[in-house]
Amino acid sequence: MTDAPLAPPRRLAALLSRRPAAGRARSGALHRFLRHRLAVAGLAAIALMLLACWLGPLLIPYDQLFIDIRHRFAGPFAGPHVFGTDQLGRDLLVRLLMAGRISLTIGFAAMALSTAVGTAIGLVAGYRGGLVGAALMRCVDAVLCFPSVFLLLALAAFIRPNVVTITLIIAATGWMEVARVVQGQIRTLKARDFTLAAELMGASGFYVMTNELLRNAVGPIIVAATLTVARAILAEAYVSFLGYGIQAPVASWGNMLNNAQQYLGSAPWLAIFPGLMITVAVASFNFVGDGLRDALDARVEL
């Protein structure tokens, strides 16, 4: 939840704002995406991860919660526990996969929420413009004034951490970027002929917003949404690391890292595996987002 890794959507907004043609010319998008080798690799990695997290635990003969205190800190790649055991003697691999379910669920759910909210606000602000639009965007600006770590921490104080509440606060700090992207898009699109044409033909504002404008802004929204998943997974890790995350004994990648810190010297694998999982997951979503950006945005072909 440092702003650092959370920032891609904001940077994206900056990028897109210089590219008014985004969203047009989607023919050949799939082709362009497939040419993007890193994006394809990212997509494959995500698919593999989803498969592993949801099917893997069924194949492993250990329970993620079963404590075997006599076999704590078993090293990885030796003995029956492939990735070793944690500080309570639980199998690390099965916990990693179960944690993946939680972290990925939070990532997707937070993405869905913040994209929905951000799109709605951006759409209204961009289409209505005027006072409503200005007021909405000033609210967006005000929330953006807080480094999102600060905001996330302040909000975390409100909740009893569980998957739903953590998702909510991550979404609450992630919708602004989407709103900005969408608002920028809509404003440009609004000035175009087809909008005017629809309005002249007597279409209602709602119809124009949803059918004409939104459809044409779908590209950047998809890109922003993909990057938001990456951001949400990281945010979960940061919240957990700073001690406000998912409660034990349920594992998430973030809280596995939090607990591993003190064993960095004696059992480094407890920190290394979850950290790698987060990095791979987040990087995959970022690669896919990057690929989508190239694929959906004609002007990227300079």
Please list every residue from 127 through 186 that binds other proteins, using CB under 8 A: 138-139, 141-151, 153-155, 157-158, 160
Number of residues that bind other proteins (CB under 8 A): 72
Instruction: Please identify which residue in the block is written with the tokens 């951000």.
Output: 118
Least distance between other proteins and beta carbon 269 (Å):
11
Least distance between other proteins and beta carbon 191 (Å):
15
Least distance between other proteins and beta carbon 89 (Å):
9
Nearer to other proteins, 214 or 235 (CB): 235
CA distance 124 to 186: 9
Nearer to other proteins, 214 or 273 (CB): 273
Nearer to other proteins, 144 or 203 (CB): 144
Least distance between other proteins and beta carbon 93 (Å):
18
CA distance 33 to 38: 10
Q: Which residues pair with 91 in a beta bridge?
A: 85
Least distance between other proteins and beta carbon 219 (Å):
18
Residues 191-250 that bind other proteins (CB under 8 A): 230, 234, 237-238, 241-244, 247-249
Those residues whose C-beta lies under 8 Å from the C-beta of residue 208, and which sit 6 or more positions away, are 127, 195, 198, 199
Nearer to other proteins, 11 or 215 (CB): 11
Among the listed residues 174, 163, 189, the one whose alpha carbon sits nearest the alpha carbon of residue 255 = 163
Nearer to other proteins, 14 or 47 (CB): 14
Instruction: Please identify which residue in the block is written with the tokens 């409100």.
Output: 158
Which listed range, 45-53, 177-185, 210-218, 252-260, lies at the site for other proteins (CB under 8 A)? 252-260
Least distance between other proteins and beta carbon 230 (Å):
7
Take residue 222 and report the two structure tokens written for it: 């998809």
Residues 274-293 that bind other proteins (CB under 8 A): 275, 278-279, 282-283, 286-287, 290
Binding test (CB under 8 A) with other proteins, winner from 61, 78, 206, 266: 266
Note whether 50 and 105 are within 8 A (CB).
Answer: no
Which listed range, 44-52, 59-67, 109-117, 208-216, lies at the site for other proteins (CB under 8 A)? 59-67
Three-state secondary-structure class, residue 85: strand
Residues 2-41 that bind other proteins (CB under 8 A): 2-8, 10-11, 14-15, 38
Nearer to other proteins, 35 or 215 (CB): 35
Q: In terms of C-beta density within 10 A (0-12 exposed, 13-18 middle, 19 or more buried), how is residue 61 classed?
A: exposed
Three state DSSP letters for 250-298: CCCHHHHHHHHHHHCCCCCHHHHHHHHHHHHHHHHHHHHHHHHHHHHCH
Amino acid at 106: I
Note whether 47 and 299 are within 8 A (CB).
Answer: no
| Phi and psi, residue 91, nearest 5° | -65, 125
Count of residues making up the chain: 302
102 binds other proteins (CB under 8 A): no
Longest dimension (CA), the chain: 76
Least distance between other proteins and beta carbon 232 (Å):
13
Take residue 235 and report the two structure tokens written for it: 């945010």
Instruction: Please identify which residue in the block is written with the tokens 């210089």.
Output: 18
Least distance between other proteins and beta carbon 203 (Å):
29
Nearer to other proteins, 153 or 292 (CB): 153
Take residue 270 and report the two structure tokens written for it: 């407890």
Binding test (CB under 8 A) with other proteins, winner from 17, 105, 165, 259: 259
